[in-house]
Structure formats: structure tokens, C-alpha cells
Structure 1
Amino acid sequence: MARWILSSYGGPKRVNHAAVAMGDNIYSFGGYTATEVGPQNDFIDIHVLNTFTYRWELLPTFPVESGKKPRSSTISASHPETPPSTSQSTQIQRRRTRSLSTSTSSHPLAQIRNSNPPLYDLEGIEHNLEENQANTNNASILEEDNEMDVTQATDTFTVYQQILSDIDHNLENDNDENATFDISSVYSENSQEGEEDEDEDMDLIEEEEERIFVHIDGIGDLDLPNNVDRDRLEKLRQHPEIPFKLYGHTVVSYKGFFYLWGGRSDAYGCRQTLHRYNPATNLWSIVTTFGQCPARDGHTAIVWDDYMYIFGGYEEREQRFSQETYSFHFPTNTWSKLKTFGKPPQYRDFHTACVLDGRMYVFGGRSDESGQTHTNHDLYDDKLHFLDLKSMEWNVVKPTNNEQPCGRRSHTMWTFKGFVYLFGGYNSISNVHFNDLWRFDPTTNSWIEQKVLGKGPSPRRRQCNVMIGNRLFLFGGTTPHPRRSALEDLGDLYVLDFSPTLSSLCLEAVLKLGLKQQAKNVLPEILNRELHYMSTPNQLSRISFLSLMYMRG
């Protein structure tokens, strides 16, 4: 039975971001937070989660070799970029970025997370206990991870204990103004400044009284306010291959590369440039494409065979919701508007999509009573649609039972072992945020709400989740503040284990019962290290009042 086995805080606070996995690392691209402080980066940021240590890392915006001009920022089908390799030079770079160096086969923690049988499988337990004892020999390998030492972790928890004490005092006095705590002395935020590159052409092709039209090579024409910051434009001119800071975009993985498309920037509008990211080198490229897909945000993207399929979203130029489907053929870099059959889902944005057995399933999203136009009269479709990617025919699933999730937007959906899963989201008509978990069985056309053990996420929308092996990693999003009429951006991480091992259940019990200190004297080093990872927060963002209250339970 699936179980929430981990909740961790202090990660990057992001809303409407996009994430994808490579090996045992999860890459989270962009998004925004209303509470971000400090210098703002015009370029999209990339946070990487090491799923063994649960540590987040902010990657540098520019290549590690400062002062060097990036290699060609434009790629085409005839001159493809070199795919990620496992050469010695690549491995050296991965060691420099810490979180890129982990692999399932080599990391010692893989032995205690993957080799043990689930609780309901008793065969082989004695053998696995012997393996756990042998894991003590891996302590020296674990020491190579550049993580916080035990002393720093102890200091951090001392601060948390003091904060929880302050919360109790403030709640007793009902002093809401003191309900937010500044523990910035505990946290640090990585920042890297990029070196300026050689000039490239940027032409002002037309200027009006209130708007200017700026052309940047590799990006195209930008329609911008006349008072736009010229220094910011200069940065974009120097690095057109790096996407703007975006939200509502999509990122997919194909043959070792990540492809980012669409999304919106408050400063520069929606994008239709296709960017390719190489996780082995931390370098971006612009893909030269044939044909175009209209710029939009709030769409979905899935990969099946050699194609990326885009559906729905809100189109920038036409100011309309979409119900069209576009494909991008990776081998030829070609966009196509697809001719589909049957009745497509109504116009919508911020829906979800996933692919299973050649079907692209679409659920939820925000529609409007007027159809294509946004009039703030929201509609929410509770039907599950699918596009057969072989026949290109749309179908509506007719549930065989009376149970199904209600219509919503900004939720997440994924597949695992032949099922479709759905979590969370928001319905503006009822003004409700959700944290329910549903499973759809395509063989019976039935929905079942899942009752999951463990401490799960708070109600939220605009979060991300990624499956790696038997585990779902869910992070970020926004949730209603319990004591204010406002939303709280989240920097937490939850892990849903669909096949929890005996060791993970035991470690969870150790933490729940407050036996971590006693466990140090009796457990092998590798298990103590796992306890350390499970119980130590990240340090990329401040722990909010809401998160602390939820930690307290």
C-alpha cells in the first residue's frame, strides 16, 4: 500500500514551475514566488533535487567556465548537439555540481531503499538484514556527499525548536503580526553572476509613444513597454539561448535532453521559442524549427514515440483559450497542427495530461462560459478525455462507478504501473484547494479515491511532481493561509512511496517516536545517514509560519 514517507522543508518556493527527471535527479525549471526577496534574475532558474539525499541545489545560470562565450546557441536537425556522455570530463563537471553525481547503481542508499522487500513481502527478509549490516562498509562513500554536517543540522533544529516555542507563545497571545518568523541567519541562497559575452546584433526596428519593438537574434521580435529596463534587454541580447524567467511553461525529456516550450514572463509576455537544455553541461540551446506553434501558457506537453504533443493553454497573440493539438517531431525539428477526429475537450488552460498505452489523457483545467474568450466566468470539466495517438481520435471516458474527482485546475497527474493518478488542484467556483489523491483504472474505466497512510501534503495547486522508480516526489505550489485571506507559496517536499520497504518504515517510526539520538548508537552508519537526510531541512528558502505549523501537526 502506498504511503507518504517523507515531508521536508526549506526547498525552493516555486509556483507554476515545470520539472523532469534525469536518472536519480529531478530538475525544476522556473516558476515564481510572491515572496521572493533579493536581486531578481531575468533568466530562468534551475533547481536540482538529489532524490537520495533530498537536497536541493540551485545551478549557476551561466557555464562554470566564466569568461568564455557559450558554444553555438542555435541547433538544427542537420547539426544536432552532442548528446550527454559519460566521459571523464563530464564526470568531473558533475562532481563539481554535487547533485549531478548520483546514480542508482552506485549510491549506497540504493541498497536500503530498493533491495529490501516491501512489508507485505516476507521472502528474503533475512537476506536483506545481512545486506543492511554489510552496508556499514559504505560509510566512506557516503562521506563524499557535500552535505551539511551533523553539527550544523543540530544547530538548525535548535532554531526550529525555539521557533515552535515562539509560535506557541504568539498563538496564546493571538498576536497575528508576530506569526511570521525571520530565520534568515540560518539560511543562505546561492547566487552566481555570469560574465558578459561579446556583443550580438540587437536592432530597434520600430518605436512608438508607449511601446517599442525589439528584435533579438535567436528570439525574434519583442513588443515591450517604452520604459523597459535597457540593462535587462542587454542581458537578453548577450544570452538569447537562455529562456526568460517563466511560469506556465512545460519541460519534457527526450534522449538525454530537456525541451522547454511556452510559458509566460510578466516582463516579456509568452514565448514560442523552443529551448533545449543539456543536463550534463548546464548549457542551453535554441532549436531552429520548421513551422510554429502559437505562443501560450497553461498548456500541457507529453512525449510519445518521437513526438511531443501540445494541447490547450491560453494563446498570447489571439487572447483566447485553445483546444487544438500540435505535435513536434524531434528528428526533423518540425511543428505540425494536428487534424483530430471526434470531439476535443473544450477550450481550457491549466489542465493536466499524461500518456499511457498510446493514449494522451486530459483532465480538468479552467474553461470559460463564453468558450474561447476569458470573461472570468469559469467552468470546470470533470470528464476524463483521451486522444488515441494512433488514430488521432478524441474520446470521453464513461466511468463505470459513481466515484470521480470533481473539476479543477492547476492539479497534477501521472501514470504508474498501468494506472493514472491525480492529486490536488483548485476550483474557483467553490473556492476550494484540494489534497485528494485519485487513481483511474483504464481497464475498468473506474476512479477510486486513494486513502494513503502517513502525513501527506496540505491542500494546494500549481505544484509539481515527478515519478522515479516506485516513488513520487511532490514539491512546491501554493495553499491558502489558515489565518489570513492570502495564499502561501510553498517550499516543501513530500515523497509518496508506492512500495515502502521495511527499512523505510522503521526509519519513519524512529523519527516519529523521537528516537533519532538513541538510534545513533545501535544502527549502522548508512541507516543513520538516511535518518539525517530524512530529518534535515533544506536551506534554500525560509521556513514559513504555515510550514512550521504543518510540521507540528
Structure 2
Amino acid sequence: MAAPSLLNWRRVSSFTGPVPRARHGHRAVAIRELMIIFGGGNEGIADELHVYNTATNQWFLPAVRGDIPPGCAAHGFVCDGTRILVFGGMVEYGRYSNELYELQASRWLWKKVKPHPPPSGLPPCPRLGHSFSLYGNKCYLFGGLANESEDSNNNVPRYLNDFYELELQHGSGVVGWSIPVTKGVVPSPRESHTAVIYCKRDSGSPKMYVFGGMCGARLDDLWQLDLETMSWSKPETKGTVPLPRSLHTASVIGNKMYIFGGWVPHKGENTETSPHDCEWRCTSSFSYLNLDTTEWTTLVSDSQEDKKNSRPRPRAGHCAVAVGTRLYFWSGRDGYKKALNSQVCCKDLWYLDTEKPPAPSQVQLIKATTNSFHVKWDEVSTVEGYLLQLSTDLPYQAASSDSSAAPNMQDQ
């Protein structure tokens, strides 16, 4: 069980290339060492595709072509190999989308795809703040927020808890939507929640975990959907459950689901602020759920101060991606500036190694002389430095007086 003092947050301060403007409501996925970001915004919705190379610390704007989608925020964004799918989101205030786009990242080629509607029932309505999760050749859509009004300027919100399955074709294209028949109690309607899919190594039954979200109030409930039996349940958990929240991130590394940030209820008792001002605030709390034991562990509590700026400041609507066992966090909003009537967005990029990096492969001695030697080993992508320990391996008997006998240098 990790302790907060052992967390080694790193802020990326040295990089090259065109840095995207700060924003919230964007999404990100990882393809090998690349972090690919799309959408979101602050003053208007962004429509560019930004890529950050975690190996070279370089930002770049790929030359995309094809059916380039309009900018959107709070959309679905998943990665299948080198193919990325974008579904829904807000394209302008009060106007939401239910369109589906595919990006072939190997060629930076966009394509608008039109899945078949469900055999029975309607296709998903336009929405934002939904979850869109991939497992195998299927994407799973749950919940979100719809606008009941036909006038985008007259927003009549409706929280959703519908559930769809989207079958993908191999490599490119989709088959169509379906509406699975589920068992058990369905989670309450919500938006800005998270959903991840995890399958135990000794069990062939993948499960989708839905956490938190918003339905007029922030939520802290955890739901599990068995994707084989299509049965909903509420697993019993141990440990301290994170505060109710929305606009947080959930990332799976190994058997752990890491929850970071989001909007949480305001616990302050400052009598000089109105009740409305105390309803919510951003958080930098950080927890994980062991998906094998369903036990929560708090890594950074909501009450822990950070006077040295040694970790990301509170935020919501940010993005998080896992590159190997390393978690990257970028941008998001950390408050609301009333004087300017705008969100205050973070401009920083952070990462955290969730596990100790693996040891390099065996060190090989390439060349040795009386006063130097050359060794080599395979690079570990998430390691910034190496410590090589050497010792003199003397024979069991007393050393020979022959000065030509060179010591055998080994790593320990």
C-alpha cells in the first residue's frame, strides 16, 4: 500500500513544439509513447488535434486530413490500436452531438462513420459528459446529459442512464449500435462520471466500473457491470471512499483504478461566502481502487496542503492517460473568475510513476582495458537515470601476482 510521502510527482518544464492552449473538457488517449489530445476549450471549443511525445518531450500538430470533425467538449474518446473513435460531446453552448468519427492515427486520416441503428429502439441521442469505454471489438456508452429543448439557447437538461453497445469492424469502420438487455438495478442517471473496464487474469469475465458523476448533486457511488452476463451490481468496498465528485479522471494501471481531481462538495465554513459559493470546489485528491479486492486507498487526501507546489494543484475537466505504468495529467480548470466571467485553466503537464520502474536487462561488458570499460543495457522508457554498481570479483584463492590478470567487472 503506497503512502503519500512516496509519491514522486514530476512537472514537465522542458519541452519543445507548439503547446496547446489551456482548456477543460478535452480528452486524451495514448498510442505507445504518444499522448493524443482532442477537443475541450475555454474561450471557444478547440478543434485541433495535439500530440505530445512522452519520450522526446515534444508537442506537435499532425497534418490531419479527411472528414475533420468540428471541435467538441465532454465527448467520448477511445483508442483501439492506432485507431481513435470520437463520439458526441458539446459542439457549442446548448448544442450537443451524436456523431461518430474515426481517426487512423497511422495516417492522421479522419473519417465520419455511420453505424447502423439498433435492431429495436433509437440510436443514442445527442449528449455530453457520457462515458465511452472500449473492450475487445466493442465500445460501451453509458449516461450523459441531453438537451430537451430544440432551441440551443434554451437549455433544458436531462440526465441519462441509457446503455448502448457499439460493434466495431476489424481495423476500420463500425457495424452498428445495439441496446443490451441488462439485469439488476441500473445506476441512476448522471453525467461527467467515469467508466473503466477491467478483467482479472484468472477470470474471463470483463467488468465495467462506473464511479461518481453529477445528477444535480455530485455522486460517490461505485457500480459494476459484468459484460458477459450484463448484470449490474454495487460492489461492497473497503477503505475510505473518495468524496463525491464529477469531472474527475479514472485510469487503470495493472489492477488499480486511479481517481484524480474533479469537482467536490465544499466543506468550508467561511461565513463571508454565500451558500452558492460553497457548493463545490476543485480538488487534487488522489485515490485508487484495487479492482481485485475492491479496497480504496487514499494517496493524497483532500485536506493535505501542498505548500511546495510539489504536485498538481486542484483541477477538474482535465485529462489523464497511462503510458506504461506512468500517469500523465494535463490542463483542466481550477476555478471560476467572476470578474472575467470565465474559467481559470491550468497550463501545466505532470506525470507520476505508479510503480517502481523495472530494472534494465542484464548489463553486458562490451570492451575492457586496464583503465576503462564499455557496458550496455536496454533502455527503460520511463527512467531518467541509472545507477550502475560495480564490484571486483576476486578468485577464491589469493590473487595472482600476474599483473596481466584483469578484474571481472559485474553489476550487482
Task: With the length of structure 2 as denominator, give the TM-score of the two structures.
Answer: 0.59
Partner of 1:383: 285
Partner of 2:104: 50
SS of the equivalent of 2:92 reads: coil
Tell me if 1:416 matches 2:313.
no
Partner of 1:392: 294
Moved more, 4-13 or 24-33: 4-13
Structure 1 segment 284-303 matched on structure 2, within 5 A: 284-291=177-184, 292-303=186-197
SS of the equivalent of 1:344 reads: coil
Give 1:288 deviation, angstroms: 0.7
Aligned-residue CA RMSD in angstroms?
Answer: 3.0
Contact 2:256 2:291 in 1 (8 A): yes
SS of the equivalent of 1:265 reads: strand
Partner of 1:338: 235
CA distance in 2, matches of 1:422, 1:244: 30
Give 1:402 deviation, angstroms: 5.9
Structure 1 segment 491-502 matched on structure 2, within 5 A: none
Identify if the C-alpha distance between structure 1 residues 270 and 425 changes in structure 2 by more than 3 Å, giving closer, same or farther. same
Task: With the length of structure 1 as denominator, give the TM-score of the two structures.
Answer: 0.45
For 1:440, the aligned partner's letter is L
Give 1:433 deviation, angstroms: 0.9
CA distance in 2, matches of 1:444, 1:23: 26
Identify if the C-alpha distance between structure 1 residues 333 and 381 changes in structure 2 by more than 3 Å, giving closer, same or farther. same
CA distance in 1, matches of 2:98, 2:347: 28
1:288-347 Cα shifts (integer Å, max 9, x gaps): 1012111100100111101111111013xxx32101111111011011112211111111
SS of the equivalent of 1:396 reads: strand
Structure 1 segment 228-243 matched on structure 2, within 5 A: 240-243=121-124
CA distance in 2, matches of 1:356, 1:435: 25
Name which of 355, 359, 363 aligns with 1:443: 355
Identify if the C-alpha distance between structure 1 residues 402 and 396 changes in structure 2 by more than 3 Å, giving closer, same or farther. farther
For 1:261, the aligned partner's letter is F
CA distance in 1, matches of 2:113, 2:267: 43
Partner of 1:262: 143
Identify if the C-alpha distance between structure 1 residues 47 and 433 changes in structure 2 by more than 3 Å, giving closer, same or farther. same
Contact 2:118 2:177 in 1 (8 A): no
CA distance in 2, matches of 1:375, 1:335: 35
Contact 1:25 1:49 in 2 (8 A): yes
CA distance in 2, matches of 1:414, 1:331: 27
Name which of 386, 400, 405 aligns with 2:312: 405
CA distance in 1, matches of 2:118, 2:145: 26
Partner of 1:6: 61
Partner of 2:85: 27
Give 1:55 deviation, angstroms: 2.5
1:9-48 Cα shifts (integer Å, max 9, x gaps): 7642101101112232211000012279xxx8x8711011
For 2:167, the aligned partner's letter is N
CA distance in 2, matches of 1:261, 1:328: 11
Tell me if 1:427 matches 2:334.
yes
CA distance in 2, matches of 1:322, 1:349: 7
Partner of 1:525: none
For 1:246, the aligned partner's letter is R
For 1:332, the aligned partner's letter is T
For 2:189, the aligned partner's letter is A
CA distance in 2, matches of 1:376, 1:296: 22
Identify if the C-alpha distance between structure 1 residues 58 and 313 changes in structure 2 by more than 3 Å, giving closer, same or farther. same
For 2:127, the aligned partner's letter is L
Partner of 1:18: 76
1:489-529 Cα shifts (integer Å, max 9, x gaps): xxxxxxxx99xxxxxxxxxxxxxxxxxxxxxxxxxxxxxxx
Partner of 2:368: none
CA distance in 1, matches of 2:191, 2:86: 17
1:41-65 Cα shifts (integer Å, max 9, x gaps): x8711011121222222223x64xx
Name which of 285, 308, 313 aligns with 2:213: 313
Unmatched 5+ residue regions in structure 2? 1-55, 149-156, 200-205, 269-274, 338-342, 358-380, 383-412
Structure having the higher strand fraction is: 2
Contact 1:12 1:47 in 2 (8 A): no
CA distance in 1, matches of 2:299, 2:356: 10
**Number of residue-to-residue matches in the alignment:** 266
Give 1:269 deviation, angstroms: 1.2
Contact 2:248 2:317 in 1 (8 A): yes
CA distance in 2, matches of 1:375, 1:297: 21
SS of the equivalent of 2:161 reads: coil
Tell me if 1:72 matches 2:119.
yes
For 1:296, the aligned partner's letter is R
Unmatched 5+ residue regions in structure 1? 64-69, 74-239, 446-496, 499-553
Tell me if 1:247 matches 2:301.
no
Contact 1:241 1:284 in 2 (8 A): no
SS of the equivalent of 2:238 reads: coil
Give 1:375 deviation, angstroms: 4.1
Contact 2:91 2:97 in 1 (8 A): no
CA distance in 2, matches of 1:71, 1:11: 24
CA distance in 2, matches of 1:248, 1:387: 22
Structure 1 segment 87-486 matched on structure 2, within 5 A: 240-267=121-148, 269-280=158-169, 281-291=174-184, 292-305=186-199, 306-315=206-215, 319-369=216-266, 375-377=276-278, 378-398=280-300, 403-429=310-336, 431-443=343-355
Identify if the C-alpha distance between structure 1 residues 332 and 434 changes in structure 2 by more than 3 Å, giving closer, same or farther. same
For 2:177, the aligned partner's letter is W
CA distance in 2, matches of 1:52, 1:35: 33
1:233-259 Cα shifts (integer Å, max 9, x gaps): xxxxxxx34101010001111121000
Contact 1:247 1:264 in 2 (8 A): yes
CA distance in 2, matches of 1:249, 1:376: 26
**Percent same amino acid at aligned positions?**
26
CA distance in 1, matches of 2:347, 2:110: 24
Contact 1:368 1:375 in 2 (8 A): no
Give 1:356 deviation, angstroms: 0.8
CA distance in 1, matches of 2:93, 2:223: 35
1:450-485 Cα shifts (integer Å, max 9, x gaps): xxxxxxxxxxxxxxxxxxxxxxxxxxxxxxxxxxxx
